[in-house]
Chains A and B, each alone.
Chain A
Amino acid sequence: MMRKITPVIEWGTLLLSTGMVCFFMVVILWDLISKGAPSLSWEFVSTLPRAGMTKGGILPAIIGTVLLTMITALVSVPFGISCAIYLNEYATDNWLTRTIRASIRNLSGVPSIIYGLFGLALFVQGLQMGTSMLSAGFTLGLLSLPYVIITTEEALRRIPASTREAALAVGATQFESIRDVVMPTALPGILTGVVLTLSRAAGETAPILFTGVAFYINNPAGFLNQEFMALPYHLYMLSTQHQAIEQVRPLAYGTALVLIIVVFLLNLTAFYIRYKHSKND
């Protein structure tokens, strides 16, 4: 009797923990979708907030998050890819390379709020850029940098040495081999990493708290030297700081759902690139 029951209990323990994890995911999605969907409408995503945030839409927050993510990409992608190329293609194994690698690993573990402080000290105060979209975008760019480097280097490492040697053998310089042979081959892998990193940056709140995000701006977003609205911060303010919290709860749910949709769409894009690439191999 025991012999039959014991494996069921043992297996059940593992299944139970897996079930709990799935349960968390289902609760998160179910709650956000079921309560957020009624707030979603064309008006919600295409108009400005009205009546002290209790009515209207979240257009400026959407524009703010999109522009902010673009600045993040402009800072972290060229910088990160260049650094990864140095590490994987040019650098030899010496103390300098090891220091760079150690720095990258440490940077990827630095809490996001500390990036916020660094952005405040460097961009807002040090470089006199003020609390603005540029300051916040640069801060998020620095935060994303280690992830871009790590994923790009992984993609470069998967290219076999023979591919590079073939290019060198027909007379290409090292740069030409990287530009014309290595990069095009590694591109899908790099893109997957970049899009995943940007999806994380789009949902970040702590680094932009002191570097430029605002609860309300009355001009439409788009001025790089001004404060801006962003989806994650908008959700934070609506759910904790608004004077009529119960009244704006549907708007908070709507904002949360839009934010999740933006992040998941970016993730699906990354999965799609990876899936297409793995089929070609």
Chain B
Amino acid sequence: MKLGVRESIDKSIKLVVKTTGLLVIAILGGIFFMLLWNTIAFFLKIHPLDFITGTQWNPSGDPEVYGILPLLVSTCLVTLGAMVIAIPLGIGTAAYLSEYASMRVKSVLKPMIEMLAAVPSVAIGFLGIVVLGPGIADIIGLSNGLNAMNGAILLAVMALPTIITVTDDALHGVPGTYREASYGVGASKWQTLIKVTIPAAGPGIMAAVMLGVGRAIGETMTVLMATGNAAAFPKGFFHSVRTITATIAIEMGEVPYQTTHYYSLFAIAAVLFLITLGVNLTGEYFVNKFRKYHSA
């Protein structure tokens, strides 16, 4: 083949791959535009203030009420519960893996944690219905165990692999000299872990937590199956709640297109999008901080 032909092939390939790069921006732009467009259509019918401060979500009532607070509080409640469980367990496990475990133990635990990450959310939700729900109902003495606690425990299980893996990486990123300096002044292994290694890995651990939070907030099937989905304002961990994601999943299948109810689901999706965006940007901030800190 002539050099000129080969060079023009090279040029056109470059154009093709560049186009796919630009399409990625277009997809994110498309998602953003879709949410914005439908949210504006919704706000033309319902006042934004009523939406943000409303304590009742009842789109099929008379009159229709679209208050996001019960959904938002449900989402936060379940995520908070999940993090209270997952953060200590995740950091503890990562610390064990990175500071104490032998190579043999690691070679068993690491694939196991990867396997846990691979279990589909619908299977976790199923176990919430058949194992965890009845278990909670027995212990607390409720008629059924489909409540915020059930969802929180399941989400913790789902967030754990992410938190463990990223925290483990962060702990590994702490230079060995830090630990040696600590041992040198007479600190025990535990004191070194608590007072030196974990604080030094702090931003990395925060990034891990943020990734876990992002995963928990955006999770749909698990909470849809395990939390009972009562539309009332959430009363606590042992009551049924209905998150933003579950509301979209339940109601989108039934609404007619282009109605206020239809638009309202995009509006709550926009709120969800903004929350996860904020969580991810915070995580990214900590990742950069961790990198800068240890490259300096």
Asked if A117 and B248 sit within 8 Å, CB to CB, the answer is: yes
In the bound complex, how far is the Cα of B90 from the Cα of A175, in angstroms? 44
- Is A7 interfacial (CB 8 A cutoff)? yes
B27 to chain A, nearest CB (A): 6
Asked if A83 and B253 sit within 8 Å, CB to CB, the answer is: no
With A13-B92, A14-B92, A27-B131 as known contacts, state yes or no: A206 contacts B24, CB within 8 Å.
Answer: no
Interface of B is mostly: helix
Asked if B89 and A236 sit within 8 Å, CB to CB, the answer is: no
- Is B17 interfacial (CB 8 A cutoff)? yes
A163 to chain B, nearest CB (A): 18
Closest chain A residue to B112, Cβ basis: A25
3 A-B pairs with least C-beta separation: A203-B120, A111-B218, A17-B92
B278 to chain A, nearest CB (A): 10
> Which residues of A are at the interface with B, using a C-beta cutoff of 8 A?
6-7, 10-11, 13-18, 20-22, 24-25, 27-28, 31-32, 79, 82-83, 85-87, 89-91, 96-97, 99-100, 103-107, 109-118, 120-122, 125, 142, 145-146, 149, 173-176, 196, 199-200, 202-206, 209-210, 232-233, 235-236, 239-240, 249, 252-253, 256, 259-260, 263-264, 267, 271
7 contacts between A and B (CB under 8 A): A18-B96, A90-B18, A113-B269, A114-B35, A118-B34, A239-B125, A267-B114
The total of chain B residues at the interface (CB under 8 A) is 84
Asked if B130 and A31 sit within 8 Å, CB to CB, the answer is: yes
Q: What chain B residues lie within 8 Å of A114 (beta carbons)?
A: 31, 35, 218, 269, 272-273
Q: Give chain B interface residues in 17-49, CB to chain A under 8 Å.
A: 17-18, 20-25, 27-28, 30-31, 34-35, 38
Contact of A86 among B6, B18, B99, B221 (CB under 8 A): B18
Asked if B221 and A239 sit within 8 Å, CB to CB, the answer is: no
> Which residues of B are at the interface with A, using a C-beta cutoff of 8 A?
6-7, 9-10, 13-14, 16-18, 20-25, 27-28, 30-31, 34-35, 38, 88-93, 95-97, 99-101, 109, 111-116, 118-127, 129-131, 157, 160, 164, 188-190, 214, 217-221, 224-225, 245, 248-249, 252-253, 257, 265-266, 269, 272-273, 276-277, 279-280, 284
Q: What chain B residues lie within 8 Å of A22 (beta carbons)?
A: 109, 112
Q: What chain B residues lie within 8 Å of A109 (beta carbons)?
A: 214, 218, 276-277, 279-280
Asked if A113 and B96 sit within 8 Å, CB to CB, the answer is: no
Q: What chain A residues lie within 8 Å of B100 (beta carbons)?
A: 11, 14
In the bound complex, how far is the Cα of B92 from the Cα of A104, in angstroms? 31
Interface of A is mostly: helix
With A111-B245, A113-B245 as known contacts, state yes or no: A260 contacts B6, CB within 8 Å.
Answer: no
Contact of A83 among B24, B118, B129 (CB under 8 A): B24
